[in-house]
């Protein structure tokens, strides 16, 4: 392996973003990726004339970091927005699919008339939602998402709105997830204004543009562009040692020296690598749990599709879930990805406590997905193509106490000049957050 002044470990979006800025600034770097493929959980495949996103399918528009990078890479013309006007999400409620009331921001109702008309929650919960408008500001110690949501809107809102919606993002357990880390904006509103409903009703009309964005050719295009700028070596980083003010990293048995190391791999992998550098830091990183998931994508002939066409897709709340967590109708969300004569469904499995799903064979998972789709939307047609993607230990969980742990992690990392942490384990798991962590690491290196 070529000697690099900077070694980046992990070739997902975080590591590639760091490599991009270093390359731009002319700083020599080597990016180590243990898989033969770059991109980490971002993977775009094509089958026939269908575009299949095997991991993430889009990024949130409200955070600017993904768009900035896309512009810098000359990909702005490739950006497409989610069709929010046509966005209809269903939630399973007592075995039937019920429309998510319009104007619901996460689990917060911002259009009272549509929530009042919805059968998704009972009248008792609707009254509770009304009373929430009267709440005054209050500060709480970090508490779970379950406690936070139940306190504001009651248990039914947790079960039928917050839990299924958050499962889609974190694959996590709301009893464990930290409100302060997962819902920082809402906790801030609680502290400053009290009522989430009152605040969001006031600000709801101000959003411009689509909620989510993606690339016409898939997020894989972003990876390809970034990869072209990075100096990549495929191999597994096995250990890191501190040598005076610098480091050495063992990759496939060979040691290389580095003034800076960017750990852009999952926190559990960083923990293993850092055990000999700072044992306490390794323990703290290892305490960040991760969940695993699997996505089964199936393509059907539109002419044979005999199931309910459930808008952009549906979510199954934990209280009603058997195996399937959620299902997206890809062509409704992003029409460019599916031709008119086909329908692609993306079925999500796994999440907290359901990791065993990854051990099942492709055939077993497809059979489970088909059985679930038969029960929920009455689909009996056979897919003409199916693809399973497994993402073991890939989604960091910000559990209660994450904020305090993070402070200790950051102060210990700061005490090791030249060591940089990036990735989804810290301050946001979405693509824009990961890009930010990678680029911030590069900025610090360039500045030094
Ligand atoms: C199924 C799924 C769907 C998602 N959907 C969305 C979405 O729609 N929108 C959104 O914004 N976010 C989404 N996310 C979250 C987001 O995609 C991820 O948080 C982000 O892509 C993680 O990027 P990363 O580079 O930090 O980590 P990863 O993509 O996990 O990359 C880390 C890389 O490090 C490598 N590595 C690990 N150990 C070593 C080692 N010892 N040596 C060398 N290499 C190593 C791994 O092989 C991997 O390639 C989703 C995540 C998943 C799993």
355 torsion bin: left (phi>0), alpha (psi -120 to 50), beta (else)? alpha
CA–centroid distance, residue 139 to ligand 1 (Å): 33
Atom of ligand 1 nearest to the CA of 235: 43
Residue by residue, DSSP assigns 69-133 as HHHHTT-GGGEEE--GGG--EEEEETTEEEEPPTTEETTEES-HHHHHH-SSS-HHHHHHHHHHT
Q: Are strands 59-60 and 29-33 parallel, antiparallel or unpaired?
A: unpaired
Nearest CA to ligand 1 atom 7: 56
Residue 185 near residue 192, CB atoms below 8 Å: no
Task: Give the distance, in angstroms, between the CA of residue 29 and the centroid of all CA atoms in the same chain.
Answer: 27
Nearest CA to ligand 1 atom 20: 431
Nearest CA to ligand 1 atom 41: 237
- Ligand 1 pocket, 57 CB below 6 A? yes
pTM > 0.75: yes or no: yes
Tokens 């991760």 -> residue: 290
Nearest CA to ligand 1 atom 49: 40
- Ligand 1 pocket, 264 CB below 6 A? yes
Which helix (H) or strand (E) element contains residue 397? none
CA–centroid distance, residue 266 to ligand 1 (Å): 8
> Which CATH class, in words, describes the domain spanning 6-42+218-289+398-447?
alpha beta
Task: Give the distance, in angstroms, between the CA of residue 290 and the centroid of all CA atoms in the same chain.
Answer: 12
Q: What is the pLDDT of residue 189?
A: 97
DSSP 8-state code for residue 383: P
Where in the chain are the domains? 6-42+218-289+398-447, 103-206, 290-396
Segments in the chain below pLDDT 70: 1-4, 204-207
- Residue 129 token pair: 């939602």
CA dist 225 and 77 (Å) reads: 14
Atom of ligand 1 nearest to the CA of 16: 25
- Ligand 1 pocket, 187 CB below 6 A? no
Q: Ligand 1 pocket: which of 258, 431, 435, 439 to mutate (most atoms <8 Å of CB)?
A: 431
Residue 51, classified by CB atoms within 10 Å of its CB into exposed (0-12), middle (13-18) or buried (19+), is buried
Start-to-end CA distance of the chain, whole Å, equals 24
Q: Ligand 1 pocket: which of 19, 35, 55 to mutate (most atoms <8 Å of CB)?
A: 55
Residue 345 near residue 329, CB atoms below 8 Å: yes
**How does 142-161 read in b/e, with b if 16+ C-beta sit within 10 Å?**
bebbbbbbbbbbbebbbbbb
Q: What is the pLDDT of residue 263?
A: 98
Q: Ligand 1 pocket: which of 60, 213, 265 to mutate (most atoms <8 Å of CB)?
A: 265
Architecture label for domain 103-206? Orthogonal Bundle (1.10)
Fold for domain 290-396? Polyamine Oxidase; Chain A, domain 2 (3.90.660)
Q: What is the pLDDT of residue 206?
A: 58
CA–centroid distance, residue 410 to ligand 1 (Å): 21
Phi, psi of 147 (to 5 degrees): -65, -45
């Amino acid at each position: 392996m070529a000697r690099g002044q900077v070694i980046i470990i992990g070739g997902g979006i975080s590591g590639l973003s760091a490599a991009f800025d270093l390359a731009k600034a002319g700083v020599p770097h080597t990016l180590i990726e243990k898989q033969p493929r770059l991109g980490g959980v971002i993977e775009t495949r094509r089958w026939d004339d269908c575009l299949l996103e095997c991991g993430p399918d889009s990024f949130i528009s409200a955070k600017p970091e993904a768009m900035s990078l896309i512009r810098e890479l000359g990909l702005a013309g490739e950006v497409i927005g989610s069709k929010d006007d046509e966005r209809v999400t269903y939630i399973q409620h007592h075995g039937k699919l019920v429309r998510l009331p319009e104007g619901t921001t996460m689990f917060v109702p911002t259009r009272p008339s549509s929530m009042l008309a919805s059968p998704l929650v009972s009248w008792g919960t609707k009254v509770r939602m009304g009373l929430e408008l009267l709440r005054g500001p209050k500060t709480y110690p970090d508490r779970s998402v379950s406690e936070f949501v139940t306190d504001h809107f009651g248990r039914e809102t947790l079960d039928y709105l917050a839990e299924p919606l958050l499962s889609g993002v974190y694959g996590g357990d709301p009893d464990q997830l930290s409100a302060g880390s997962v819902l920082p904006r809402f906790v801030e509103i609680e502290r400053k204004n009290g009522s989430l409903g009152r605040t969001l009703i006031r600000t709801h009309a101000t959003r411009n543009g689509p909620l989510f964005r993606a690339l016409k050719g898939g997020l894989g295009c972003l990876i390809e562009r970034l990869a072209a700028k990075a100096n990549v070596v495929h191999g597994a980083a096995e250990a890191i040692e501190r040598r005076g003010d610098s480091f050495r990293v063992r990759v496939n048995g060979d040691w290389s020296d580095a003034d800076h190391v960017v750990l852009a791999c999952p926190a559990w992998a960083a923990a293993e690598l850092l055990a000999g550098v700072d044992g306490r830091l390794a323990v703290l990183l290892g305490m960040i749990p991760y969940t695993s998931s699997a996505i089964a994508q199936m393509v059907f002939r539109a002419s044979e599709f005999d199931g309910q066409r459930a808008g952009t897709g549906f979510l199954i709340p934990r209280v009603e879930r058997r195996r399937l967590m959620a299902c997206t109708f890809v062509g409704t969300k992003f029409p460019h990805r599916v031709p008119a004569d086909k329908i692609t469904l993306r079925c999500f499995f796994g999440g907290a406590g359901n990791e065993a799903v990854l051990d099942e064979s492709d055939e077993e998972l497809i059979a489970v997905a088909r059985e679930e789709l038969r029960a929920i939307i009455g689909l009996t047609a056979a897919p003409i193509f199916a693809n399973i993607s497994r993402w073991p230990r890939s989604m960091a969980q910000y559990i209660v106490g994450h904020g305090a742990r993070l402070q200790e992690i950051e102060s210990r990392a700061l005490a090791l000049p030249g060591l940089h942490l990036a990735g989804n384990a810290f301050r946001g798991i979405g693509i824009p957050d990961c890009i930010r962590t990678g680029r911030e690491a590069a900025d610090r290196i360039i500045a030094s």
